[in-house]
Chain A
């Protein structure tokens, strides 16, 4: 079945440091890929998405490129801020699974803490 694997956390960085969060996936079809962010006490917010190979999603300085050859969708940001402290989830929606596009499969999430 579909699955998403994220790097182990937590991750602690200093402000203005470079961020990479790894994400790889397994899917039967041609998935759409997503990064969601969850701030304390909140639900999930869509950060960015990519729907086909080589697409780059970007938002708020974050970027991720859909790499079909390595089945990866790593999240990057050039300079993190304290306000980026949150939990980040990689997710996929597989176009060929039953109930296509009606289900998100999530990775376990990684907690990012940014120190001033």
Chain B
């Protein structure tokens, strides 16, 4: 069965722009969560969606938002990009919670 698919794999944006990242979970999985990975801060939780509802949110500014569609696909959006938003953004899917979370390969965002 296909794994978690994240698109695009690489992205270069300019400060002040906005960006949308996409995540297609494993078929049948209803939970999608997002993480930011940076060398300095490591892996930090952004938010988690289950059946189109946000169940949990990390400690990130309001510029970071997300949503989940009825087919469980999820998008995250970052507005007014800052240099510090440069990171690997990872999406994980699971049937219900994180006890069986499967990660995508990530989207590498570079803000210049």
* Complex: chain B residue closest to A44, CB-CB: B103
Interface hits, A38-75 → B, CB 8 Å: 41-46, 49, 51
Separation of A99 and B98 alpha carbons in the complex (Å): 11
> Nearest-CB distance from B45 to chain A (Å)?
5
Contacts of B35 in A (CB 8 A): 104, 106
- Interface residues of A, CB < 8 Å — how many? 24
> Nearest-CB distance from B10 to chain A (Å)?
11
- Interface residues of B, CB < 8 Å — how many? 26
Contacts of B92 in A (CB 8 A): 44, 104
Q: Mark B22-39, 1 if CB is under 8 A from A, else 0.
A: 000000000101010000
Which one of B6, B50, B103 has the greatest number of beta carbons of chain A within 10 Å? B103
> Nearest-CB distance from B44 to chain A (Å)?
8
Contacts of B6 in A (CB 8 A): 43
Contacts A44-B103, A104-B92 known; 14 new A-B pairs at CB < 8 A? A41-B105, A42-B105, A43-B105, A43-B106, A51-B99, A99-B48, A99-B55, A102-B31, A102-B56, A103-B98, A104-B43, A104-B45, A104-B98, A104-B101
